[in-house]
Amino acid sequence: MKDLLNVQDYLFAVQDVGDWEGDEEHVAETLNDLIHIAWDRLPDEAECEFIDETINGIWEHLRGDMAVIEADFEELVDWVIHYVDSSLDEKM
């Protein structure tokens, strides 16, 4: 079902992330990179609603969390991989 959606619909513009004390562009870029990583991990046959919940959940978990700025990118990647894999495990 993934072919019915487009990853571009989930990406953030700088103005979408809110106030990050001048780091809005960095936050938007980081979130978009994480969304692409999550997208690639989701199976093609995943239901649209599940994909939507999973991708939107990344922002729900990271919104306002300084880890988006302070953490090493690889740590964020590890977190996203774990988050997606856990979501898939719960669904299956």
Amino acid at 6: N
Nearest residue to 1 via CA among 37, 54, 63: 54
Quick one: average pLDDT of 12-37?
Answer: 96
**Residue pair 31/60 in contact by the 8 Å Cβ criterion:** no
Q: Is 81 in a helix, a strand, or coil?
A: helix
pLDDT in tens, 39-80: 999 999 999 999 999 999 999 999 989 999 999 999 999 999
pLDDT of residue 69: 94
pLDDT in tens, 25-41: 999 999 999 999 999 99
- Global confidence as pTM: 0.95
Residue 91 banded pLDDT, cuts 50, 70, 90: confident
Domain borders along the chain are: 2-91
pLDDT of residue 92: 63
d(CA 6, CA 12): 13
d(CA 54, CA 24): 23
